[in-house]
Structure 1
Amino acid sequence: MFIVTMTYTAPLEQVDALLAEHVAWLERNYAAGRFLASGRQVPRVGGVILARAESREELLAVLAEDPFQKAGVAQLQLTEFLPTMTSPELESLRVTLG
């Protein structure tokens, strides 16, 4: 499981010009089962995606297709974690350490 933190590196006008393409990219990755939640940071300095992937490299390849990345308007930070505790609603995401 990964937390992807995006920080905008360009004015919001440039980010907003790519927003429709970015949302279409998000929707494709939700449909593929890669993304579980996403949204804007508050204040609006970037965004956050909760993602799953087989590897960091796989996720980096997916993220490279984001219009924000292609245009260079956001910087990424990845945090990988193992969800060993969850609420009942997210139990399907829980992993057991062996």
Structure 2
Amino acid sequence: MFIVSLSYKVSIDQVEAHLEGHIAWLKSAYQREILLASGRKVPRTGGVLLARGDRATLEACLAEDPFKIHDLADYEIVEFEPSIAAPGLEGLLE
């Protein structure tokens, strides 16, 4: 499993210009069952993705993100193996 931290490198105005494409990319990544959760950082300096699968697939998917294509954000990928989960989230342990 992976946590991906996006940190914006540009103004929010520049991010907003590509938000529609980013949302379409997110929906595609969910349909492909790569992403488990996503959202904005607070304050809005980037975003966080929770992903599954292998690293090569994740990196290929991230390369399709308009935020990556237009060099709007830096991406930090942290791999981890969950060992405990809250009730209802036991599927994350697979």
Q: Percent identity?
A: 48
> 2:68 is matched with which residue?
69
In 2, the alpha carbon distance for the partners of 1:89 and 1:26 equals 23
SS in 1 for 2:39: strand
In 2, the alpha carbon distance for the partners of 1:32 and 1:58 equals 11
Matched to 2:58, the amino acid is L
> 2:5 is matched with which residue?
5
In 1, the alpha carbon distance for the partners of 2:35 and 2:55 equals 14
Matched to 1:75, the amino acid is D
In 1, the alpha carbon distance for the partners of 2:58 and 2:31 equals 15
TM-score, normalising length: structure 1: 0.93
Over 4 Å off, 4+ runs: none
> 1:25 is matched with which residue?
25
In the alignment of these two chains, the number of paired residues is: 94
In 2, the alpha carbon distance for the partners of 1:17 and 1:58 equals 27
State the Cα distance separating 1:69 from its structure 2 match: 0.1
Q: List gaps (5 residues or longer) in structure 2.
A: none
TM-score, normalising length: structure 2: 0.96
In 2, the alpha carbon distance for the partners of 1:20 and 1:32 equals 19
The Cα RMSD (Å) is 0.8
Q: List gaps (5 residues or longer) in structure 1.
A: none
> 2:55 is matched with which residue?
56
In 2, the alpha carbon distance for the partners of 1:88 and 1:22 equals 31
The yes-or-no answer on 1:86 pairing with 2:89 is no
